[in-house]
Amino acid sequence: MIFIGPPFGNYLKFQNTINIQGSYTLQPRDGLFWQIITTLRYNFDRGGWVNRIGLRNPGIDFAIKDWESRFKDSQSKTQSNDTNDTTDTIYSVAILDTKEIPTLVQKIPSSMNLELNLSCPNAERPMVVTGIHQFLHQDRKWCIVKLSPDSSTQRIDSLYQQGFRQFHCSNTIKTPEGGLSGSSLRPHTTRLVKYIREKYPTSVIIAGGGVTNIDDVKYYRGIGADHVSISTVWFQPWKGWKIITSSKDLFKTD
């Protein structure tokens, strides 16, 4: 399956893809539009997009309302025997303080699909990575952990021991200019995917970073990824669409 990552996953929805929205924090963090227009740039020296968005978002209550609306719509289609496929949606959540966990666990519906964002190079503090097993729930189809590109094997082992079986490799790279996306992520993602696939073969792995064409999708599939995520390729939307239409045969068994 092709996953469409934030921020494009907030807006782009296609059949046979999964979109990831967010990241959402417990409290709203204003200034998203301003941070996008003032910090999002293509860095030619580093060969990728950089930003300092820093988790600007409308807050988890906004995400929950969006989920509730989609859930009701899905229920309505089921009752009316509408067989049209609906796009799966996953909500990325970033936790800035361990004290937020009980409130988030209580607020978020148990069947709401989540991706726990474990790193944000532009945030004022590291993301919380302890106690997050409390978000695991049998009603959730997805409870993914999104890894930092420099995640250690010990961190992966710890997450697996906590019960996580879905890994997204990987987040942006921290640079002086901001979080870096693009082809620079490939060696980091490759390292993480290969380690998880070899040590934890039954895990579900989503790989991303520098995916601009079908050959990049095939590469990540070839090293063991079950799914592939795309994001900044949508700055050239025809390339993103071509990836979706060209990759269907690669995911026939998904």
User: Domain 2-251 is in which class?
Assistant: alpha beta
The pLDDT, as a whole number, for residue 252 is 64
The pLDDT, as a whole number, for residue 217 is 96
The pLDDT, as a whole number, for residue 84 is 40
Kindly report the three-state secondary structure assignment for every residue of 194-227. HHHHHHCCCCEEEEECCCCCHHHHHHHHHCCCCE
Nearest to 39 by CA among 30, 52, 49: 52
The pLDDT, as a whole number, for residue 86 is 41
Q: Which amino acid is at 1?
A: M
Q: How far is CA 31 from the centre of its chain?
A: 21
The pLDDT, as a whole number, for residue 43 is 76
The pLDDT, as a whole number, for residue 45 is 81
Torsion over CA of 34, 36, 41 and 47, rounded to 10 degrees? 160
Terminal Cα distance for the chain, rounded: 7
pTM of the predicted structure, to 2 decimals? 0.90
Averaged pLDDT in 10-residue chunks for the chain of 254 residues: 92 90 93 64 79 84 93 64 58 96 97 93 81 96 96 97 97 81 92 98 96 96 97 92 91 62
Edge-first strand listing for the sheet containing 173-175: 41-43, 48-51, 178-180, 173-175
The pLDDT, as a whole number, for residue 87 is 46
